Chains A and B, each alone.
Chain A
Amino acid sequence: MAQRNNKYDRQLRIWGDHGQAALEHASVCLLNCGPTGSEALKNLVLGGIGSFTIVDPSRVEAADLGNNFLVSWENLGQSKARSVCALLQELNESVGAKFVEESPEALLDSNPSFFASFTLVIATQMPEKALIKLDETCRQQRVMLLVARSYGLAGLVRICIQEHDVIESKPDNPVDDLRLHKPWPELKRFVDQFDIDAKDQLEHQHIPFAIILVKVAEEWKAAHGGRLPSGSKERAEFKAAVRARKQSDDEDNYKEALASAYKVWAPPTISSELHSVLDDSAVEIHSTSTDFWILVAALKMFMANDADGDLPLDGAIPDMHSYTDYYIRLQKVYQDRAEANVSAVEANVKSILRKIARDSLSISRSTIKQFCKNARNLRVLRYRTLADEFSPLAAFKIQRLLAVEESSNVEIYILLRAVDQFAATYNRYPGIFDRELEQDVLRLKAICINLLNDIGVNGASISEDLISEFCRFGAAEIHCVASVIGGIASQEAIKEPSYTMQLNRHHQFCSCRCIFVLIWQSLCVSIFGALYTNILFKTPEVYAHIMLEHSGCFNVNLILLFTYVLTYVHPYTALCSITGSYACVYNIEVYIKGGRDDQVSTYHGIHPIVNGNCRFLQREACPRKSCSEHLVLRFFEVYHPPTV
């Protein structure tokens, strides 16, 4: 046990013991063990999944020794599945390893129930036709399917799963839920014990900022008919009221109070994503409802009946300059409230369980607690089927994307499908034979046109350069590309059994100059998401229309700052070239000039800029429902370094 903990120390720090336990229960089925599949599995075996089964009928050939690290020269001519299985087993002896020397397509035909026993199936380098069937089979058997494909310098990762519920989404920058605007009786009583005008200088500078802000806010409310400050003038007045209580300029608690003053009038809101979870039809509980939806229903009851629309308090408070004793007591007030909220939700859970004649203790308090703690970041992802995606339903978005200049990611998506159709027609991939290269370019082009016609996209064309590039690839599986694609697939796989982090979402975008990533949550709504940042980051005509709320300082510099951040830096990037010291909460809407109404994306979060460092905290997800998604990567067509 001690050695296990040491071995997994660096990952336990991310997903904890319960995440690791889930991983250790996962059984993974890999279809085809070329480099893409072998690399995906390698990362999972290192992380300590329970067991894996490799399905691959082929033998180790010379080419495998040039692109797959999990075969060895001694295995030349032997079963590839056996070789990869043995070398993977070496990496982690606690993982169960099996292999089946059969073709995945044949297995799918002869024994579809084979897949039912797995947590996860990773299908690599499989053609479209087989994938559609596999998707159907896995959905029926409630097995998650990950599709990974490396093709020359391009690749694709796709998730196929009915529904993925995210409890612990582990946001990069959690928000503080302090309820300064709405203190509950116990907090009020606690705050009342303090005299923020204490004569004792040490005492004065060791009162936690939350207490100062609750006091000043209560005084403000008393003087303004119960209202909180609104508008920039009142907010400035509120800050002045805080400032007036300072006894000297170097009181750290007052610096913190001023920096956090906005939390009084801008408490964290309920995100549109969470709203859509709460409003989901699955929240109508019936006898087959899952625990997740029972918890959501209990949460919804809590918010409506017990909490005036608020979420359960998570009980965590940030560090505050303070005496130890004051801080610890304050922490206790928050923790007690959080526990009380958990109890209220627990009571709802029990009553729901009783109503549907299930054991009222079947959902443990620790589960409920975990759920309440993370309630703010609950997410539900649903993925459309491959069959739907490949139907004409998708035409509209594809059409629109192809009409835009920066659309080559869609072209890659089309080409990845076109090569499969090529193979179905000619019984081989394009560019396999040098002598037919030129001919294949024409053939592939014809297939692209047909494909676009079939899905109802008219008048669009695929770049000739890309078509010949795909023929140049000749279905090559380049090790580095396989390692990226396999790596992403394994990252997604880890997020699923550990039930914590969010899987691929539609709000991931194309990068511009190196790797193009495109995730299609659903072809109907979110290809746009991908496209749109591409435009945002590249086209000068795009401008940001920014609405700042709660900032108290709506000025040109801020607008420039946000424009800069939105234009050049991604939300997750640290940006340090701007000095100044203010903090604000913002809502930003970005419109694309000439764009349609739905080409709007909302950002909100807290934006501290301290000592020249600033960091975007959160990019809120779009309020659109999700069905399926795609990730397309490409590793070419970028820029010219000087000849070295």
Chain B
Amino acid sequence: MEELQGRWHDLDRLLLRPGNLVGPGFEPCAELRDLLQNDCKVLVIGAGGLGCELLKDLALSGFGNIDVIDMDTIDVSNLNRQFLFRIHDVGKPKAQVAADRIMQRVKGVMVTAHFCRIEEKDVDFYRQFQIIMLGLDSLEARSYINSVVCSFLEYEPDGGLDYSTIKPMVDGGTEGFKGHARVILPGVTPCFQCTLWLFPPQITFPLCTLAETPRSPAHCIEYVHLIQWGQDRVGEKFDSDSPEHMKWIFEQAVKRATQFCISGVTYSLTQGVVKNIIPAIASTNAIVSAVCALEALKIATMCSKGMDNYMMYVGTQGVYTHTVSYEKDPNCIMCSPGVPIEVDCSCTLQECIDTLLNDQRFKAKLSRPSVSFQGTNLYMQAPPILEELTRPNLRLSLLSLMGGNPSGGVLNINDKKLHGVLRVRVSFSKEMDTT
């Protein structure tokens, strides 16, 4: 497409002019615009409140090649902030409608929509992007992407990170007037796993309170949702998107509240409790997304120095922002060069595998692990022929399988429960076994 002369006039100020406060290796030149337009592929995960803003911000930052993935369809309650959708779009896939609207408004940008769950895409899908933008509302989805992106990391035998394997992620999140933006350079800045504590714990009510001594409208609603539904509507799966189901929960909750003299059960509260609705407004999404997209522009072009590495925004009382440089967990099971484990010098490969399976840190992450060391398969669970071939190793000493180096090394563990490789840094305990 013929570019309109002067269209990127404002952006060009940053891309074509040298500066003293720019990122490392910044070279002002017209090719940076081509890089944004053609070579830098960006993935936006989520086409909701943040996703719509991100798509707009990226397209107007010169990015020409954007993919967007979202499994949801448009709901009326999205319209107060998800500005790419109209009332007649209700029911259509968010990703597709958002992509179409962006391409319609911003000429020359190619937005590819994926109407599916993020887990439906394989690792190679995610590998093709230079930057991944997250506009998500759940920890689970973030953890999934985190494990995929961390699995790309490769470390030298001395523990040095191969910088070419870093896949930068920019994450945003909002709740009401508050939000955060963070830049994750896996292996360099903390990944989600390193800072899991940043996510607030879920509020749950004790079942006995719900069943015996309800005191609040929420207690009544959760009782109907979690207990009474299963008793009264045996075999029916509760669907929070079904108006009939929600209405039933509401009506039963009102009955229960009346019985216990509790007031305040409303349909809106019922929805809020059952669906765990987080309040959301347009302005906060706009602020957080724009901060994220600006970071993407900086990562791609180095036209200015980047954020290190977590910014919070609090608009509830006045405006407050603060940026914290969080630190990596050096033993992170996702992004570190290797999770440390210590085994005995005489330990066999089988014993090592058993140690891993019993380790709390890998709980629910391993079922049938395959093990390799510096590119050599030590034990493979599948296919059968490889399993048979590597099975004799199970009884061999791990120390000798790892080249006899008493200071240990990093084993790569694969498991169908993992989204990528798990790196385990084995060290051998000092005392020699005397047997």
Whether A513 pairs with B14 at a CB distance below 8 angstroms is no
Q: In angstroms, how far is the closest chain A Cβ from the Cβ of B220?
A: 10
Question: How far, in whole Å, are A568 and B11 apart by their CA atoms in the complex?
Answer: 35
> Per a CB cutoff under 8 Å, which of A35, A72, A431, A491 touches B315?
A491
Question: How far, in whole Å, are A5 and B79 apart by their CA atoms in the complex?
Answer: 11
Q: In angstroms, how far is the closest chain A Cβ from the Cβ of B305?
A: 4
Q: Which residues of B contact A47 (CB under 8 A)?
A: 80, 281-283
> Per a CB cutoff under 8 Å, which of A325, A434, A501 touches B316?
A501
Whether, in the assembled complex, B408 has its beta carbon less than 8 Å from a beta carbon of chain A, the answer is no
Interface positions, chain A 53-77, Cβ under 8 Å from B, are: 61-63, 65-69, 72-73
Whether, in the assembled complex, B43 has its beta carbon less than 8 Å from a beta carbon of chain A, the answer is no
Whether A494 pairs with B283 at a CB distance below 8 angstroms is yes
Q: Which residues of B contact A502 (CB under 8 A)?
A: 316-318
Whether A206 pairs with B21 at a CB distance below 8 angstroms is no
> Per a CB cutoff under 8 Å, which of A12, A14, A431 touches B177?
A14
> Per a CB cutoff under 8 Å, which of B81, B272, B307, B312 touches A573?
B312
Q: How many A-B contacts if CB must be within 8 Å?
A: 320
Whether, in the assembled complex, B235 has its beta carbon less than 8 Å from a beta carbon of chain A, the answer is no
Q: In angstroms, how far is the closest chain A Cβ from the Cβ of B42?
A: 14
Whether B77 pairs with A476 at a CB distance below 8 angstroms is no
Q: Which residues of B contact A509 (CB under 8 A)?
A: 320, 322
A-facing mask of B215-249, CB < 8 A → 1, else 0?
11000000000000000000000000000000000
Q: Choose the segment among A242-250, A342-350, A480-488 that binds chain B (4+ C-beta atoms closer than 8 Å).
A: A480-488
Whether, in the assembled complex, B24 has its beta carbon less than 8 Å from a beta carbon of chain A, the answer is yes
Whether A476 pairs with B105 at a CB distance below 8 angstroms is no
Question: How far, in whole Å, are A152 and B9 apart by their CA atoms in the complex?
Answer: 12
Whether A644 pairs with B60 at a CB distance below 8 angstroms is no
> Per a CB cutoff under 8 Å, which of A8, A479, A515 touches B60?
A479
Interface positions, chain A 173-195, Cβ under 8 Å from B, are: none
Q: Which residues of A contact B14 (CB under 8 A)?
A: 152-153, 472-473, 476, 478
Q: Which residues of B contact A477 (CB under 8 A)?
A: 10
Q: In angstroms, how far is the closest chain B Cβ from the Cβ of A525?
A: 15
Q: Choose the segment among A221-229, A295-303, A547-555, A630-638 that binds chain B (4+ C-beta atoms closer than 8 Å).
A: A630-638
Whether, in the assembled complex, B416 has its beta carbon less than 8 Å from a beta carbon of chain A, the answer is no
> Per a CB cutoff under 8 Å, which of A11, A48, A491 touches B279?
A11
Q: Choose the segment among A141-149, A164-172, A259-267, A598-606 that binds chain B (4+ C-beta atoms closer than 8 Å).
A: A164-172
Whether, in the assembled complex, A402 has its beta carbon less than 8 Å from a beta carbon of chain B, the answer is no
Assess A62 versus B322: contact at CB under 8 Å? Given A206-B213, A644-B168: no
Interface positions, chain A 604-644, Cβ under 8 Å from B, are: 613, 631, 635-644
Whether, in the assembled complex, A505 has its beta carbon less than 8 Å from a beta carbon of chain B, the answer is yes
Question: How far, in whole Å, are A96 and B177 apart by their CA atoms in the complex?
Answer: 25
Assess A642 versus B163: contact at CB under 8 Å? Given A72-B105, A322-B215: yes
Q: In angstroms, how far is the closest chain B Cβ from the Cβ of A142?
A: 22
Whether A644 pairs with B316 at a CB distance below 8 angstroms is no
Whether, in the assembled complex, A465 has its beta carbon less than 8 Å from a beta carbon of chain B, the answer is yes
Whether, in the assembled complex, B176 has its beta carbon less than 8 Å from a beta carbon of chain A, the answer is yes
> Per a CB cutoff under 8 Å, which of B23, B189, B318 touches A503?
B318
Whether, in the assembled complex, B7 has its beta carbon less than 8 Å from a beta carbon of chain A, the answer is yes
Whether A7 pairs with B77 at a CB distance below 8 angstroms is yes
Whether A491 pairs with B13 at a CB distance below 8 angstroms is no
Q: Which residues of A contact B321 (CB under 8 A)?
A: 508, 511, 515, 517
Whether, in the assembled complex, A512 has its beta carbon less than 8 Å from a beta carbon of chain B, the answer is yes
Find the B residue at minimum CB distance from A629. Answer: B318
A-facing mask of B167-210, CB < 8 A → 1, else 0?
01000000011100001010011000000011011000000010
Whether A66 pairs with B197 at a CB distance below 8 angstroms is no
Q: In angstroms, how far is the closest chain A Cβ from the Cβ of B117?
A: 23
Find the A residue at minimum CB distance from B163. Answer: A642
Whether B304 pairs with A636 at a CB distance below 8 angstroms is yes
Whether A13 pairs with B307 at a CB distance below 8 angstroms is no
Whether A640 pairs with B200 at a CB distance below 8 angstroms is no
Whether B166 pairs with A6 at a CB distance below 8 angstroms is no
Question: How far, in whole Å, are A77 and B284 apart by their CA atoms in the complex?
Answer: 32
Whether, in the assembled complex, B306 has its beta carbon less than 8 Å from a beta carbon of chain A, the answer is yes
Question: How far, in whole Å, are A434 and B293 apart by their CA atoms in the complex?
Answer: 27
Assess A613 versus B306: contact at CB under 8 Å? Given A62-B5, A431-B13, A477-B10: no
Whether A481 pairs with B294 at a CB distance below 8 angstroms is yes
Whether B304 pairs with A62 at a CB distance below 8 angstroms is no
Q: Which residues of B contact A464 (CB under 8 A)?
A: 20
> Per a CB cutoff under 8 Å, which of A10, A466, A574, A637 touches B80?
A10
Whether, in the assembled complex, A111 has its beta carbon less than 8 Å from a beta carbon of chain B, the answer is no
Whether A483 pairs with B287 at a CB distance below 8 angstroms is yes
A-facing mask of B59-102, CB < 8 A → 1, else 0?
01110000000000000110111010010000000000000000
Interface positions, chain B 340-354, Cβ under 8 Å from A, are: none
Whether, in the assembled complex, A425 has its beta carbon less than 8 Å from a beta carbon of chain B, the answer is no
Q: In angstroms, how far is the closest chain A Cβ from the Cβ of B13?
A: 4
Whether B319 pairs with A479 at a CB distance below 8 angstroms is no
Whether, in the assembled complex, B153 has its beta carbon less than 8 Å from a beta carbon of chain A, the answer is no
Whether A473 pairs with B57 at a CB distance below 8 angstroms is no
> Per a CB cutoff under 8 Å, which of A9, A91, A638 touches B307?
A638
Whether, in the assembled complex, B325 has its beta carbon less than 8 Å from a beta carbon of chain A, the answer is yes
Interface positions, chain B 17-40, Cβ under 8 Å from A, are: 17-21, 23-25
Assess A644 versus B305: contact at CB under 8 Å? Given A11-B280, A48-B80, A324-B260: no
Question: How far, in whole Å, are A407 and B105 apart by their CA atoms in the complex?
Answer: 41
Whether B277 pairs with A13 at a CB distance below 8 angstroms is yes
Chain B contributes a number of interface residues (CB within 8 A of A) equal to: 97
Whether, in the assembled complex, A336 has its beta carbon less than 8 Å from a beta carbon of chain B, the answer is no
Whether, in the assembled complex, B56 has its beta carbon less than 8 Å from a beta carbon of chain A, the answer is yes
> Per a CB cutoff under 8 Å, which of A479, A486, A573 touches B61?
A479
Q: In angstroms, how far is the closest chain A Cβ from the Cβ of B287?
A: 4
Whether B283 pairs with A480 at a CB distance below 8 angstroms is no
Q: Choose the segment among A38-46, A115-123, A124-132, A449-457 that binds chain B (4+ C-beta atoms closer than 8 Å).
A: A38-46
Whether A515 pairs with B311 at a CB distance below 8 angstroms is yes
> Per a CB cutoff under 8 Å, which of A152, A519, A537 touches B318?
A519
Q: Which residues of A contact B214 (CB under 8 A)?
A: 324
Whether, in the assembled complex, A388 has its beta carbon less than 8 Å from a beta carbon of chain B, the answer is no
Question: How far, in whole Å, are A163 and B18 apart by their CA atoms in the complex?
Answer: 45
Q: Which residues of A contact B4 (CB under 8 A)?
A: 62, 65
Question: How far, in whole Å, are A473 and B9 apart by their CA atoms in the complex?
Answer: 11
Whether A644 pairs with B163 at a CB distance below 8 angstroms is yes
Whether, in the assembled complex, A577 has its beta carbon less than 8 Å from a beta carbon of chain B, the answer is yes
Whether, in the assembled complex, B138 has its beta carbon less than 8 Å from a beta carbon of chain A, the answer is no
Interface positions, chain B 282-304, Cβ under 8 Å from A, are: 282-284, 286-287, 289-291, 293-294, 297, 299, 302, 304
Q: Which residues of A contact B80 (CB under 8 A)?
A: 7-11, 46-48
Q: Which residues of A contact B289 (CB under 8 A)?
A: 483
Question: How far, in whole Å, are A42 and B189 apart by their CA atoms in the complex?
Answer: 34
Find the A residue at minimum CB distance from B302. Answer: A643
Q: Which residues of A contact B284 (CB under 8 A)?
A: 487, 491
A-facing mask of B93-135, CB < 8 A → 1, else 0?
0000000000001110000000000000000000000000000
Whether B201 pairs with A613 at a CB distance below 8 angstroms is yes
B-facing mask of A146-159, CB < 8 A → 1, else 0?
00000011000100
Whether, in the assembled complex, A357 has its beta carbon less than 8 Å from a beta carbon of chain B, the answer is no
Contacts A481-B294, A636-B305 aside, 4 further interface pairs with beta carbons under 8 A come to A469-B20, A478-B294, A484-B287, A642-B188
What are 30 A-B pairs with beta-carbon distances under 8 A? A7-B77, A10-B277, A10-B279, A11-B280, A14-B279, A42-B282, A43-B281, A47-B283, A62-B6, A63-B9, A66-B60, A67-B10, A324-B261, A465-B21, A484-B287, A487-B287, A487-B290, A488-B319, A491-B283, A502-B316, A505-B317, A509-B320, A513-B323, A570-B322, A572-B178, A635-B304, A636-B304, A636-B305, A641-B188, A641-B306
What is A's interface to B at a CB cutoff of 8 Å? 3, 5-14, 35, 39, 42-43, 46-48, 61-63, 65-69, 72-73, 90-92, 152-153, 157, 169-172, 206, 319-325, 327-328, 431, 434, 437, 464-466, 468-469, 472-474, 476-484, 486-488, 490-492, 494, 501-509, 511-515, 517, 519, 537, 568-570, 572-574, 576-577, 613, 631, 635-644
Q: Which 9 A-B residue pairings sit nearest by Cβ, starting from the closest?
A: A505-B318, A483-B290, A487-B287, A487-B286, A514-B307, A639-B308, A576-B197, A479-B60, A476-B10
